[in-house]
Amino acid sequence: MGFLKNHIEKILFGVLLLGLGLTFVTLLNLRNNRETTDRIRLAIPQQDLTLDLSQLDTLRSTLTDTPPTVEVAMSAFTPEIRVVCINPEDRSLIPAEATHCPFCGWEQREEERDSSGDGIPDHLKLRWGLDPNDPTDVHQSLDGTGFSVLVQFQRGHDPMDPDDYPALIEFLRVMDIRAETIRFEFRGFTQLAENVFMVQLRLQYPDQNDWQSIRVRAGEDPTGQNRNRFGRNNEFSADRFVQTGERIDGRFMDQSYVQISGGRTPFRLFRDGERARHNLVKRTATLTLYMGPEWSQTVQPDETFVLDNKTYKVVDIHEETVVIAEVETQAQVTVRSATAAELEEAAPPQAENPEEGFDNEDSFMIDPGMFF
C-alpha cells in the first residue's frame, strides 16, 4: 500500500500514455480503410442511370392521338376529378387553374368522381344511401318500381321517386306465341222458316282425335240468346246462310254457303267438295315486361289490356310478333321477343366465384422464409 501511495502519479501517467497510443492506432486503421474504399469506388465506372421517358410519351401520344394525362383528385371533399397534362420535358404537372395545356393545347376536362366504376357518381350514391365503393348496390330497386338504380339513372329518372320511372311500353316483350289449327266442315242445312236456317257443322280442335258435330242457327238471333255462336268459348258465330246455285253444262251446281266469323278474317264453308272444309289458325300470345314490375298477360286478337294506365288493343298476332295499338291515339306498336342483351341487362349480376382450391372462410398465409 505504501508503494501505491508513493507511485500513484506515475501509474496514472502510464495508463494515460497507453490510452493515447491505442487511440492513435485506431484512427490510423480507419484512415487506411477509407482510402481503400475510395480507391474501389473510383475504380467503378460512373454511368448516368436517369431514365428518359420523353420518347415513350411521344410514342404513346402518336399511337393514341392523345397527350399523356394523369387524373388528379383536387379535393377529397369534392366529386370532381380534374384531368391535366404532364409537362413532357420535366414531368411536372400543368397548373390546375389553367384552362388549356400550354404544351399540347388541350382543354382541361372535369369528370365526376366514380370510385366504384359503376357509372354513377359518388355524390349521387351518397345522396341515395348507397356505398360509393360498392359497384353492385346499384342493381337494386329503391322505389319499388322494379327498375334498378343504374337503369333509372341511365334513362334520366329519379331512382328514389316511385312516380318517376321509364315508360313500361318500352319494356313490353313477347314471352310466348302459341298457334292452334281448328278444322271446320260444312255437312248440311235445314230450313226452319223463310230466311231461317239451321246448319250442321263439324269442327275439330288440335287436342281432339274425333270431329265434333254441332247444329247452329245461321244469321242474326233476334232472341238474344246467342244461338248462332259455337265453339269451346263461343268464339265463333254463323253469321248467315245463303242458299244459291247455278246450272253449268246442264248440271245444277249448289253454291250455298254459310259464313263463319271469329278469326281475323271471316270465311265461307260451301257444300261443294273441298270448299266445304277450312282450317283456321288461331294464335294466342303471352306478353310480359322483361324489366320493371312483374306483369304478364295472355291475349288474343281484338282483345284489350291495360298497361301503365293506358289501354291497348291487340291488332294481330303473327308467328313471332304481336301488333298492338293504343286505344286513345291509335298508335301501333310491334312487340317482339327480348334479345339476349336485354335479358342480360335485366338479370342481377352474379357473384364472383372464389379461386379454385381455396375456401372463402379459410385464410391462406405465405411464409416469406420459404423464398430465401
If you average pLDDT over each of 11-15, 94-98, 353-357, 363-367, which comes out highest?
11-15
Q: What is the mean pLDDT of residues 130-153?
A: 90
pLDDT band for position 22 (cuts 50, 70, 90): confident
Would the pLDDT of 161 be above 80?
yes
Q: What is the mean pLDDT of residues 139-150?
A: 90
Would the pLDDT of 137 be above 60?
yes
Contacts of 72 (CB under 8 A, 6+ apart): 81, 82, 83, 84, 93, 96
All three cell numbers of 340, joined, read: 339476349
Chain mean pLDDT for the chain: 78
Would the pLDDT of 291 be above 80?
yes
pLDDT of residue 109: 61
All three cell numbers of 285, joined, read: 300470345
> Considering the entire predicted model, what is its pTM?
0.55
pLDDT band for position 55 (cuts 50, 70, 90): low
pLDDT of residue 12: 72
240 burial type by CB count under 10 A (0-12 exposed, 13-18 middle, 19+ buried)? middle
Q: Quick one: what percent of the chain has pLDDT higher than 90?
A: 38
Q: What is the mean pLDDT of residues 153-163?
A: 91
Of 1-10, 143-152, 176-185, 206-215, minimum mean pLDDT range: 1-10
pLDDT of residue 95: 67
pLDDT of residue 30: 66
The Cβ of residue 132 has, within 10 Å, a number of other Cβ atoms equal to: 19
Beta strand 257-261 with 251-254 is: unpaired
pLDDT of residue 350: 66
pLDDT of residue 173: 97
Q: What is the mean pLDDT of residues 176-200?
A: 91
Of 5-14, 173-182, 193-202, 310-319, minimum mean pLDDT range: 5-14
pLDDT of residue 245: 85
Higher pLDDT, 65 or 10: 10
If you average pLDDT over each of 53-67, 214-228, 229-243, 337-351, which comes out highest?
229-243
Of 4-18, 197-211, 268-282, minimum mean pLDDT range: 4-18
Q: How far apart are CA 2 and CA 356, in angstroms?
A: 89
pLDDT of residue 371: 38
Amino acid identity, position 318: H
Amino acid identity, position 352: E
- The three-point CA angle 177-178-184 to 5° equals 140
If you average pLDDT over each of 32-46, 99-113, 294-308, which comes out highest?
294-308
Would the pLDDT of 323 be above 90?
yes
Would the pLDDT of 167 be above 60?
yes
Of 30-34, 70-74, 193-197, minimum mean pLDDT range: 70-74
Q: What is the mean pLDDT of residues 125-150?
A: 90
The Cβ of residue 133 has, within 10 Å, a number of other Cβ atoms equal to: 12
Of 22-26, 54-58, 204-208, 297-301, minimum mean pLDDT range: 54-58
pLDDT band for position 70 (cuts 50, 70, 90): very low
All three cell numbers of 370, joined, read: 420459404
All three cell numbers of 19, joined, read: 490510452
Q: Please report, for residues 29, 56, 104, 242, 248, the alpha-carbon distance to residue 13 in angstroms, rounded to integers and kept in the order given.
A: 25, 72, 80, 154, 162
**Domain extents in the chain:** 54-112, 179-281
- Asked if 269 and 184 count as a contact pair (C-beta separation under 8 A), the reply is yes
Note the pLDDT tens digit of each residue in 35-49.
Answer: 555 554 544 455 554
Higher pLDDT, 348 or 261: 261
